Structure 1
Amino acid sequence: MTTEHLIQPDWPAPQNLRAAVTTRLLPGASQPPFDAFNLGAHCGDAADAVAANRQRLIELAALPHPPHWLSQVHGTGVHRVLSREPVSMPRQADAAVTDVPGAVLAILTADCLPVLFATKNGSEIAAAHAGWRGLAAGVLEATVAAMRSAPENILAWLGPAAGPAHYEIGEEVRAVFVDPDPAAATCFVAIRPGHWLVDLYALARRRLAAAGVTAVSGGDLCTISDPQRFYSWRRDGRTGRMASLVWLAR
């Protein structure tokens, strides 16, 4: 399996940490437009194809246990995982945190920003789903607050998301960030009246820094501009989802 098929985050993670991001290039059961390795259960793909892909994910990513999938709602809820084995019904939340070795946290995205967290000593991990709504609402701050470690001891990695050269938004989205934080205007570039390009990565770094997390890596993989590897809702509309995964080795 090449790095194009299964991405390994590049960050100064502790030795006992494992992480991976899936791509649509993995050998899967999904048919167009979800081809081939869609892991999203609520985007219109056949349920049996998603189930087959999720089962195969355990082998392809060498997971110690099935992932703890979430029912993501673009909010700020953080679920604390207390067991290696996932529950039958996904919890409604947009982030998860755990200190249980072998428990696999998973975030599904197709333009929204997945953020993985780990403590520098390898005692705790977290994962968050941060589209613009979640970023504005404070999902990253909520995730950091839910971790039992001090923010200065936390590492973060920004996964594949809609990149700053391609993610166009309207004035109402810009205002959500700039009205309470005028300095956030540096994260937007005007392209025509009422329309802006937004840098989700820069917004995430601002939010993380405000929460005390400054050791941040990643933020260089654009889902919109790479149709071979990544699903993109903004580019394609009806499409699949990738998973960003993190766990502690036992």
Structure 2
Amino acid sequence: MTRLLLPDWPAPANVHAVCSTRLGGCSTGAFASLNLGNHVGDEPARVALNRSQYQLAAALPAVPVWLNQVHGTVVATLAVNSTAGITADAAISREPGVVATVMTADCLPLLLCDVTGTQVAAVHAGWRGLCDGVIEATLAHFKRPAEVQVYLGPAISQAAFEVGSEVREAFIKHDPAAAQAFICGKAGKYQADLYQLARQRLAACGVSQIYGGSYCTYQQSELFFSYRRDGQTGRMASSIWLV
């Protein structure tokens, strides 16, 4: 049975959002079972079936606009005629029925909407995109960031996310307060808190309505794919749309 996660946030009634898990698809082996990524080595026919199952189970109003994600900061503006394959790591929409979607398997998915329910966005934030400003680039498309609500979807937790000193230094160069999101690990490594880093960036832009951020894709292996844990693995989706 397909298992989906519904964000626990006070979004306007016309804003719908959902995150998939790894449960409820037809893929096998490393991709078991609801793998939605068609770029990870899974059988294309199975991915296509999984995507159809996701669309049905989530009651999506249209096929998601699947992005070509490259860990960058480009934000795509989607419309009803947008097609898959746009190279971007975030997408916004102001048109009902357009499903903004990002795929992840440890990176942080963010879902955004304004409190008036006129605009939504989906963001893929790995450490590099987060450090380089993908959140700020997305918020630049909103007139009043203080009126934006954000849901932090399933990502790797600090306990499982080991990085080198160069990652820590890159974040601190942008904002010294980022040091609070790192703790010392083993052999000169650090444990990075993607959720906290994202909250810091959001707060710096004036966003205070932030929800979610309680899952760990690495540790909760029964629910989530994790690239850091398994290497070859599937991808989950996080989607948001207006009705």
TM-score (norm 1): 0.94
User: 94, 112, 117: which is aligned to 1:117?
Assistant: 112
Query: 1:217 deviation in Å?
Result: 0.5
Query: 1:63 deviation in Å?
Result: 0.7
User: 11, 15, 20: which is aligned to 2:13?
Assistant: 15
C-alpha distance in 2 between matches for 1:227 and 1:242: 13
How do 1:183-222 and structure 2 match up within 5 A?
A: 183-222=177-216
- What residue is the counterpart of 2:73 in the other structure? 76
Query: 1:211 deviation in Å?
Result: 1.4
Determine whether 1:131 maps to 2:126.
Answer: yes
How do 1:131-210 and structure 2 match up within 5 A?
A: 131-147=126-142, 149-210=143-204
Which string of whole-angstrom CA distances, capped at 9 and with x for unpartnered residues, describes residues 47-70 of structure 1? 111111112211111111110110
C-alpha distance in 2 between matches for 1:187 and 1:194: 16
Query: 1:12 deviation in Å?
Result: 1.1
- What residue is the counterpart of 1:62 in the other structure? 59
C-alpha distance in 2 between matches for 1:20 and 1:180: 32
Q: What root-mean-square deviation, in Å, do the aligned CA atoms of Structure 1 and Structure 2 show? A: 1.2
Runs of at least 5 residues in structure 1 that lack an aligned partner in the other structure? none
Determine whether 1:231 maps to 2:242.
Answer: no
Q: How many residue pairs are counted as aligned between the two chains?
A: 243
Runs of at least 5 residues in structure 2 that lack an aligned partner in the other structure? none
Query: 1:112 deviation in Å?
Result: 0.2
How do 1:7-46 and structure 2 match up within 5 A?
A: 7-26=5-24, 28-46=25-43
Matching residue's letter, 1:21: C
C-alpha distance in 1 between matches for 2:191 and 2:55: 37
Q: Secondary structure of 1:146's match?
A: coil
Q: Secondary structure of 1:143's match?
A: helix
Query: 1:90 deviation in Å?
Result: 1.2
Determine whether 1:94 maps to 2:89.
Answer: yes
* Runs of 4+ with >3 A deviation: none
Report if aligned partners of 1:66, 1:86 keep a CA contact under 8 Å in 2: no
